[in-house]
Amino acid sequence: MTTKGLSRKQIIIPMSSDNIMSFMKSSSLHMANINRLLCNAKSDVLVDYIHSDNTDITVITNKVAQQSDMSIIDQYIKNSNDINSLQVKELYLPKSKSYLKIIGIPYYPHVNSQEKLTLNDIKTILKQNHIFDNISLASKPRVIKVSLKSDMAIVWLDIWDIQSSYNTKMLINRCFNVGNYIATIWGANMNPGVPQCKNCWKWGHATFSCRIQGAKCVKCNGPYKSDYHREFSWCCKANAKINLPRLETKKGKPYPHLFKCSNCRGNHQADSNQCLF
């Protein structure tokens, strides 16, 4: 899926507020001068109008500007008498985001090691495959395990694209090697993530679609709501009959014991970021 960003028939030039005020006082003159330079360069692009906001000026064009057109506009603006070129940043065309996922990548990619897949591993994989040469990530990749007992991962990628989804169309259904494995690129929904139910604390479904009766505790997976953990959990109740007598966990006091995750069986709550899921 690709988000529908701003039209690319515009060029955004970030600059200081002082520069914006000075430039916009003669915006009509600047528009005429830029169009004359573009015509002299035999370009089909013309400036329709110029507007501004608090952080940049935007040059609206009749067609999508090419790099040569952008260079002409950039040079004109930075050479203008009423502009401090040191306070002008690199101009750019608006971009959209596309969302992808990669399947078929091992969750433990290192031979004879239980070290899980990291962001650095993913960046290395992308750099080693030519199909990603002209792709820019819009955010950090996200990794999840396919299931608790699986040794495979799903990697979610957000990339910069254009409204026509050009980059996405070039990548979807492409395959590439990751060691001895063959990974495949699929399209994904925007910000897919994986939902965690706030009722049973399992991954893969939303709270409103949970099918269990009652609720589960996020701390110990007991058959009660998390708010009642102190009142009902065996680990918070006093027990003088065991070898090491256990005192009651008083309200307002920190828990003296470890929790137990219902997903990975680790010593943490089911919604902890320490979880393998």
Return d(Cα 272, Cα 270) in angstroms, integer.
Answer: 6
Give domain status of residue 1, yes or no: no
Domain co-membership, 102 together with 51: no
Q: What is the pLDDT of residues 198-216, one digit of tens each?
A: 899 887 777 888 888 889 9
Domain-terminating residue out of 33, 68, 87 = 87
Give domain status of residue 153, yes or no: yes
Domain co-membership, 63 together with 142: no
How high is the pLDDT of residue 277?
61
Which pTM value belongs to this model?
A: 0.53
Domain co-membership, 68 together with 24: yes
User: What percentage of the chain exceeds 70 in pLDDT?
Assistant: 93
Show the domain range for 217: 195-277
**Number of domains making up the chain:** 3
Asked if residue 106 lies in contact with residue 153, where contact means CB atoms within 8 angstroms, the answer is: yes
| DSSP string of 216-264, one letter each residue | --TTT--SS-GGGHHHH-GGGS-BSSSSS-B----TTSPP-S----TTT
Q: What is the pLDDT of residues 120-177, one digit of tens each?
A: 999 999 999 999 998 888 888 888 888 878 889 999 898 888 777 888 889 999 999 9
